[in-house]
Structure 1
């Protein structure tokens, strides 16, 4: 649990006081950078074995990430002054009801935290590690075998993006600079998130099989919602070349786990690099043992120290603005994501 002690008793948001901040989702600010920024405030972490609504009575700021913030949770927090996403995308928050209660909902744009660049760099690392056969290389080195294994160029290869968004746009820029050809599939093809100069060809989301069949690397950049959950399924992996690699730095639940593991086990695709998993609260690495063509990292794509410090700085600024009776920066409206 992250906690910063108050030098004066907490009086709420009036006069000299500290602010009670509750981390309402696991994994937020694991190194307590925010508490260091706000030494006069109380930063605690919820007990995730208990209902969140039972723990918010004194909270003035809730820090959010991928945990439902419903009308019931908001009603259980009479002192609530700010719902603050610890990152960019607002997921499963009743924004309209929060606004009706006078509680702003704010985020930290990736332009501030550089999270899109950080996550795209990790996706590029996974592509590079697969091309250079990192797993086999480490094994060969341990066995004293030099000159093995053979590796692949990235230059000249084709990258297909499923979805674009900020991370996809940044990955497109990186891949283009390495001499890769970039393709993309997206629901709204009129907006490529600033990556138009790097993407050679696009397909509507409903007709991406042709794109998949041309790609050497397929990277996932969709948000997780009711419409995308489980959409990367057998049809996607069957459409890919047997020599192609799949990259996921988005969300595990967008991918049909059984379909991916089957595609790897049966070598329908050459391999995969993933940084996100299914039901991460109950993560079991044993599920992935024996898959020599699977490269996993422990959900660290966004865990750059630079990004984490920038997030803490931006959230601390909003806490101080709320304390001073000012509106938070980067508030969102109903319907924003």
Structure 2
């Protein structure tokens, strides 16, 4: 009996797939960096029984119409706005993601981004590297304190809770907004639920950790930035689409907020000429929220375990319903 064919949309280490070679035949796009072209992916999907993809691949209705044998799409991410879930469900294709395994790593990066932005770490490093450091001065590259300030977390899910635990260690006051109350975070972390508008007004640091949905698209718009304190710092480690980038650019230029730390953007990648990349009070990262070696291996392993479960007739470990 022929083994199911699993197509992987980026080159990954052989050691990760080796334990599964007795059960599956694998084919993968042979680039670690460059995304697979859409037309090539469509041709591969025609033959594949399973697909392991990244957030860079748009698995839309056009692509799914060509899927003749596909039983599972294992998305190497928590978010799944790159996949047409409805179209997949209509074809009986199971879709899975990789929650939990990246929670702590993404929270590390989110808080590191907050700290780097508040204390102007990137700007200060460039100051030295560009040979600008000639004297010490009392207010040279002075940033903002983090300890005992108010953090406003928009999206108190697993990652939001993990960021809140880190904030608690800094003695921060934790405020949050979520679609529903998170009583566990309130009880264990002392987090206070606020309306979205109230959070914008009260927080010193506004951290976006919400998924991209029709409701959250560009929720951080001109009106939202105008409600923030002038001293506020905005951090986005969720999806670029939750922000109206032009409104953010205007808010920064007009000094309506102090700074921004961004790991995600509306269109990725951005060029060095992008207005946000040109601003000294903005820290830009190339979407590396979960990018530790340990976590990336765990994410790929979870994708493969989901695939194995489906072809073994078992329930997937982390299905998207």
TM bin, normalised by shorter chain, reads 0.7 to 0.9
Paired residue for 1:118, among 93, 101, 105? 105
Q: Which residue of 2 aligns with 1:21?
A: 7
Query: Residues 37 and 316 of structure 1 are in contact (CA less than 8 Å); yes or no, is this contact kept in structure 2?
Result: no
Between 1:194-203 and 1:232-241, the stretch displaced more is 194-203
User: What secondary structure is seen at the aligned counterpart in 2 of 1:78?
Assistant: coil
Q: CA offsets, 1:205-262, max 9 Å, x none?
A: xxx2232222111111111111211121111111111111000001111100101011
Do the aligned residues in 2 keep the contact of 1:165 with 1:193 (CA within 8 Å)? no
CA deviation string 1:107-131 (max 9, x = no partner): 3331xx1x12111111111111122
- Pairing 1:164–2:152 present: no
In 2: Cα distance, 1:32 partner to 1:285 partner: 34
1:181 Cα deviation after fit: 0.5
Partner of 1:293: 281
TM-score, structure 1 normalization: 0.80
Q: How far off its partner does 1:319 sit?
A: 3.2
Q: CA deviation at 1:93?
A: 4.3
- Give the Cα separation in 2 of the matches to 1:151 and 1:97: 48
Q: Is 1:105 equivalent to 2:91 in the alignment?
A: no
1:312–1:267 Cα change, 3 Å: same
57-66 vs 161-170, which deviates more?
57-66
Matching residue of 1:240: 228
Worse-superposed segment, 245-254 or 72-81: 72-81
Distance 1:199 1:246, change over 3 A: farther
Report the counterpart of residue 3 of structure 1 in structure 2.
none
Q: Give the TM-score of the pair, scaled to structure 2.
A: 0.83
* Partners of 1:160 and 1:212 in 2: CA distance: 7
List gaps (5 residues or longer) in structure 2: 30-34
Alpha-carbon RMSD across the aligned residues, in angstroms, is 2.8
CA contact (8 A) 1:232 1:254 kept: yes
Does the 8 A contact of 2:7 with 2:45 survive in 1? no
Question: CA offset at residue 284 of structure 1?
Answer: 2.1
Question: CA 1:306–1:72 in structure 2 vs 1: closer, same or farther (change >3 Å)?
Answer: same
CA distance in 1, matches of 2:145, 2:15: 39
Question: For residues 306-325 of structure 1, what are the alpha-carbon distances to aligned partners after superposition, in whole Å with 9 as ceiling and x for unaligned?
Answer: 11011122222233344545
8 Å Cα contact 2:11/2:28 also seen in 1: no
Q: Distance in 2 between matches of 1:187 and 1:34?
A: 37
Task: Tell me whether 272-281 or 322-331 shows the greater mean CA deviation.
Answer: 322-331
Tell me: CA distance 1:19–1:327, structure 2 relative to 1, closer, same or farther (3 Å).
farther
Match of 2:77 in 1: 87
Q: Are 1:260 and 2:248 matched, yes or no?
A: yes
Given that 1:116 and 1:167 are in contact with CA atoms closer than 8 Å, whether structure 2 keeps it comes out as yes
SS at match of 1:76: coil
Contact 2:186–2:192, Cα closer than 8 Å, also in 1:
no
Q: State the SS of the aligned residue for 1:278.
A: coil
1:269 Cα shift? 0.9
Number of the residue aligned with 1:11 = none
Q: Are 2:118 and 1:134 equivalent residues in the alignment?
A: no
Moved more, 147-156 or 36-45: 36-45
Deviates more, 1:92-101 or 1:312-321: 92-101
**Alpha-carbon distance in 2 for matches of 1:102, 1:211:** 41
Which of 76, 79, 82 aligns to 2:66? It is 76
Q: What displacement does 1:276 show?
A: 0.4
**4+ runs deviating over 6 angstroms:** none
- Superposed CA offset, 1:265-306 (max 9, x none): 12211100001012115x323113431111111111111111
Structure 1: which 5+ residue stretches go unaligned?
Answer: 1-13
Asked whether the equivalents of residues 157 and 181 of structure 1 are also in contact (C-alpha less than 8 Å), the reply is yes
